[in-house]
Amino acid sequence: MRFAVLAMLCLGWAMAGAWEARAADAEAATLGAGVTVDEMVDLLKSYPEVESVSVQPGRFGNPALSARSAGIDFDVFFYHCDEEGDSRCGEVQYKATFVPEQGRERDAARAVARWDQDWVFGRAFVEDDLDVVIEHAHFARGVTRLYLEQNAELWLLSILPDFRRAIGY
């Protein structure tokens, strides 16, 4: 019994050390001025769930990405981009729009209302044409590479698939 407890403690210390090393590496990779489109493209392409990523003209002169993950199309919009240098952007917004099947619009709208009550991350709403939208935004200035990765994972592996299931899409 003592051996099992000691082994668990050693495993815990080893995992904590690995986490601290990863956190230190991530802190060293701080993206103080924001994130570039190329950095986001590379980040998204690093996930096996992401089937495609392409750069598009965005809103207000800022760039955007169109992507597909696990069969779901979504966009990534960039805001507060500088006009010089490598065009670092201070905010990133993920957005996916779903068109409910004919006759299922009310069910989707009820699912959106439940979603917004239960979830902290992401904002869901129904547009005037009854399309269902999920958005997730975060700031990209003064953050680490690890922070961007965690937000991408949250969107790709949790928000997007969970929302699709919640609305029955």
Q: Write the pLDDT tens digit of every residue in 7-33.
A: 333 334 333 444 344 444 444 455 566
- Domain boundaries along the sequence of the chain: 1-30, 32-167
Angle between helices 145-153 and 37-45 (to 10 degrees): 50
The highest-level CATH class for domain 32-167 is: alpha beta
CA dihedral 24→28→33→37, nearest 10 degrees, is -90
The 3 state secondary structure assigned to 93-115 is EEEEEECCCCCCHHHHHHHHHHH
pLDDT digits (tens, 9 = 90+) for 39-82: 999 999 999 999 999 998 877 778 899 999 999 999 999 988 87
**34 against 92, higher pLDDT:** 92
For tokens 């690890």, the residue is 146
Reference 142, options 67, 90, 92; nearest CA is 90
Angle (CA) 38-40-41 rounded to 5° is 65
Q: Is the dihedral of CA 99, 139, 35, 90 positive or negative?
A: positive
**Long-range contact pairs involving 13-22 (C-beta distance under 8 Å, separation at least 24):** 22/146
Q: What is the CB-side half-sphere exposure of residue 32 using CA atoms within 13 A?
A: 2
